[in-house]
Structure 1
Amino acid sequence: MIATNDAALIADRAFEADREGWLHPAQQALIHERGWLRMLAPRAAGGLEMALPDVVRLEESIARVDGSMGWTVTLCAGAGWFAGFLAPRLAREILATPDVCLAGSGAPTGVAEREGEGWRITGLWDYASGAPMATHFTFNAVLREHGAALLDAAGQPRIQAFVVPAALVEMVPRWRSIGLRATASHAYRVSGQWVHAEHGFAIDPSKAVEQGPLYRFPFMAFAFVTLAANVAGMAHHFVDLAEECIAHRRNRFSGQDEPLIEVPAVRALLDATRASLDAVRARFYARLDATWAQVAAGAPVSEDEAAQMQALAMAWVNASRRAVDALFPYCGLYAMREDAPINRVWRDFHTASQHALLVPHASTGQIATQPL
């Protein structure tokens, strides 16, 4: 859980950060002082290598204070996790960077042309949360040689992940979302830059360089649980603020001019909403703790077990959607004020929940598995 004084600092600067479209300098300083962007990186490279359930609970608790702060920490710390899949020398070099921050995108919207002992990279990627403070960027690119795509065993274009220093990257400032404004999730471009082959890596437990349990945890399950905790954290924050709004409203159409929160149906809705969120949250963490213990003991996670973890993450996200949508109509016009905390949380929640991993597939209703 986040410390009380840290939560207060984040909350105090949240409005200003949202207005300015980037985390306040005090928030950025706190992120680096606490080492939050190193918490998933291997100890051997200079990271903290924290247990995943502890990281997820921390990320949830930050998101319950401010969505933009939680989202930025989660996405950039998640990119730091990739250090466990890099050549040890390169990982140490990256983690030794002052105020290191990795940002990036999983979309394969670039190409890497083989050239000598490395690759010449060109591409444009959207949505790199934390881009203004990134010291390095990660991305996926389609591999080519002599202008033709290299193919995998199934005859499909090969896609590889890369990490490059920010000096090779041009930020394209076009983040215009209504929510998560302070994540500054801008696009970025690489224009014909060459990098050594060691800057490429595979996100696969079987190819991890570090052998701690963090790097043997299935990637898709890892992505789902960290994102879901953020969305749910924002939803829990919204419910708290919604109850405050409802407590200050009057039910003037009942003939009794009673406090809205004392209307039995409204009180029951609030209680049921909290109970539903708490119940799925408990199931989520019970599964996460058990899966982590399994990996920490050296056992692999089967595809079915990973799917169960992802399904519980989506159950928490869906319960969060229901909670926010059910309570918002009772919050009044105050909740529509752009400077109201509940409005910011509502905007952040609906922006975060549009992440590609968290949107049900349009044709099948199943959870999507493509990266953003």
Structure 2
Amino acid sequence: MNPPATSPLSPVDAHRIERHAAAADAAGFLHPVHQALLHRRGWLKMLAPRAAGGAELPLPEVVRLEEAVAAIDGSMGWVLTLCAGAGWFAGFLAPELARQIIGTPRVCLGGSGASTGYADEDDDGYRISGRWDYASGAPMATHFTLNAILRANGQPLLDEQGAPRSRAFLVPAALVRVEDNWRSIGMRASASHSYRIEDAWVSKEHGFTIRPDAATANGPLYRFPFYSLAYVTLAANVAGMASHFVRLARECIGRRQKGMPLLEEKEQSLHAARTHFYQTLDRSWAQVAGGITLSDDDMLSIQTSSLKLVATARAAVDELYPYCGLHAAHAESTINRVWRDFHTASQHSLLLPA
């Protein structure tokens, strides 16, 4: 299955991804060809600072690539997005540490955003303990990101509102024990396992704050708000999976000659929502690249266009599925795998209706 002519994916790379997608799904992790492609193309470093050895690509270019990969294989698109997204955090680390991490052979950063662990102050560092879920790409991760509640003398440190303070950390995989427990119906090859850390010491430099004013890299990529970046990258993945499903649905519906008007309606709706989504993203990126800080209204527009795209994708997949026949329910069919991937990825809490 080749991508559209305007796709940022080459036909050769698209074929490599598609050819091994079913095998990766059955194995429960990305095929070696997929992994090699991620590293050979430098995609896992595309959001990391150039000064640290990353590509630091413009965000609209990154998002379009992530959508294109997800439109061939949802699991690979998801791993690319989440692991490259973790690489973005290098723009908030001390520059020397960022260079060391991004310079790691076959570097891959995975992790979780939940504050389900503790970081206890210990001299000039922290002792970290806890357990975190849903680290996509965990088996190939060389480093893990996490959030942990800060403590001193066993007691949580509190912020100005009296709530426990949380801090982000990036730690080497040698300190982490991955728990092989990802058993979802879809996105199987994302291998989004849990991981655990038990009383591991890291220096204070491994902690960081994700705010534009805390960035250590100077590019506009690190002035783009974190949640806005998360919305657009996740929504693009869901849109890619939905477009894959709709292409396969056209084949099924074309054979059955029932549901074609609905199919055309959903294709038009997806096109309109996608167009608006990229117009909003491109405009927002141009503002940030031009030195303008996004306002609350600007960030709300990004969130709204992202959630609208996701809602339109959900409606297309759910309403077209019944017209695709029992072939779409067969566990080994491509359309069933895409359907399972879509409904697993779209469960992400950030993609729920506002």
Q: Shorter-chain-normalised TM-score: which range? A: over 0.9
Cα distance, 1:304 vs. partner? 1.4
Distance 1:10 1:338 in 2: 20
> Cα distance, 1:155 vs. partner?
1.2
Report the secondary structure of 1:114's partner residue: strand
CA distance in 1, matches of 2:255, 2:265: 20
CA distance in 2, matches of 1:21, 1:117: 40
1:153 corresponding residue in structure 2: 160
Name the SS of the counterpart of 1:94 in structure 2: helix
* TM-score when normalising by structure 2: 0.97
Spell out the pairing of 1:158-197 with structure 2 (5 A cutoff).
Answer: 158-197=165-204
**C-alpha separation between the residues in 2 aligned to 1:219 and 1:269?**
37
Q: Does 1:327 align with 2:320?
A: yes
Residue 144 of structure 2 contacts residue 170 of structure 2 at CA under 8 Å; is this kept in 1? yes
**Per-residue deviation, 1:303:** 1.4
**Amino acid of the residue matched to residue 200 of structure 1?**
G
**Residue 312 (str. 1) matches residue 319 (str. 2):** no
For residue 340 of structure 1, report the CA deviation from its aligned partner: 0.2
CA distance in 2, matches of 1:318, 1:307: 16
Q: Specify the alignment match of 2:34 in structure 1.
A: 27
Structure-2 residue corresponding to 1:293: 286
Question: What's the offset of the Cα at 1:206?
Answer: 1.1
Query: Structure 2: 5+ residue runs without aligned partners?
Result: 1-7
**1:94 corresponds to which letter in structure 2?**
I
One-letter code of the match for 2:166? I
Among residues 207, 218, 227, which one is paired with 1:220 in the alignment?
227
TM-score by length of 1: 0.93
Letter of the 2:239 counterpart: A
In structure 2, C-alpha distance between the alignment counterparts of 1:142 and 1:13, rounded to whole Å? 40
Match runs of 1:32-181 below 5 Å: 32-181=39-188
1:17 equivalent in alignment to 2:10: no
The total of aligned residue pairs comes to 347
CA contact (8 A) 2:253 2:260 kept: no
CA distance in 2 between counterparts of 1:183 and 1:119 reads: 30
| Offset, 1:328 | 0.1
Q: What SS does the corresponding residue of 1:109 show, helix, strand or coil?
A: strand
Q: Distance in 2 between matches of 1:267 and 1:335?
A: 16
Shift of 1:267: 2.1
Q: 1:210 aligns with which of 207, 217, 242?
A: 217
Partner amino acid, structure 1, of 2:143: H
Q: Quick check: 2:254–2:260 contact (8 Å CA) kept in 1?
A: no
Q: Give matches, 1:248-263, under 5 Å.
A: 248-249=255-256, 259-260=257-258
Q: Distance in 2 between matches of 1:2 and 1:310?
A: 26
One-letter identity of the residue aligned with 1:274:
E
**Alpha-carbon distance, 1:139 to partner:** 0.3
Determine the C-alpha separation between the residues in 1 that align with 2:282 and 2:191: 32
1:6 is aligned to 13
Separation in 1, partners of 2:335, 2:291: 44
1:288-320: per-residue Cα shift (whole Å, max 9, x none)? 001000000011001111011011000000000
Deviation at 1:175, TM superposition (A): 0.2
Task: Report the AA paired with residue 337 of structure 1.
Answer: H
Please tell me the residue identity of whatever aligns with 1:308. S
Gaps of 5+ in 1: 250-258, 261-265, 361-365, 367-372
Is the 8 Å Cα contact of residues 48 and 90 (structure 2) preserved in structure 1? yes
Q: What is the rounded CA distance, in whole Å, between the counterparts of 1:162 and 1:303 in structure 2?
A: 27
Partner of 2:4: none
Q: CA deviation at 1:178?
A: 0.4
**Distance in 1, Cα, partners of 2:349 & 2:175:** 27
* Structure (1 or 2) with the larger CA radius of gyration: 1
Q: Does 1:282 align with 2:275?
A: yes
For residue 268 of structure 1, report the CA deviation from its aligned partner: 1.5
Give the AA of the match of 2:294: V
Per-residue CA distance 1:66-113 (angstroms, 9 max, x = gap): 000000000000000000000001000001100000000000000000
Question: Once the two structures are aligned, what percentage of the paired residues are identical?
Answer: 60
- Quick one: which amino acid aligns to residue 322 of structure 1? A
> 1 CA distance for matches of 2:249 and 2:118?
46
Q: What's the secondary structure of 2:101's corresponding residue?
A: helix
Q: Does structure 1 residue 359 correspond to structure 2 residue 348?
A: no
Please give the alpha-carbon distance, in whole angstroms, between the structure 2 residues aligned to 1:2 and 1:203. Answer: 30
Secondary structure of 2:113 counterpart: coil
User: Partners of 1:11 and 1:224 in 2: how far apart?
Assistant: 26
- Alignment RMSD: 0.6
Q: Equivalents in 2 of 1:215, 1:151: separation in Å?
A: 27
Deviations 1:176-233 (A, max 9, x none): 0000000000000000000000000011111111121000001100000000000010
Partner Cα distance (2:65, 2:84) in 1 = 12
Deviations 1:240-287 (A, max 9, x none): 0001011122xxxxxxxxx33xxxxx2221111000000010011011
Residue by residue over 1:147-196, the C-alpha shift from the partner in whole angstroms, topping out at 9 and shown as x without a partner, is 11001111110000000000000000100000000000000000000000
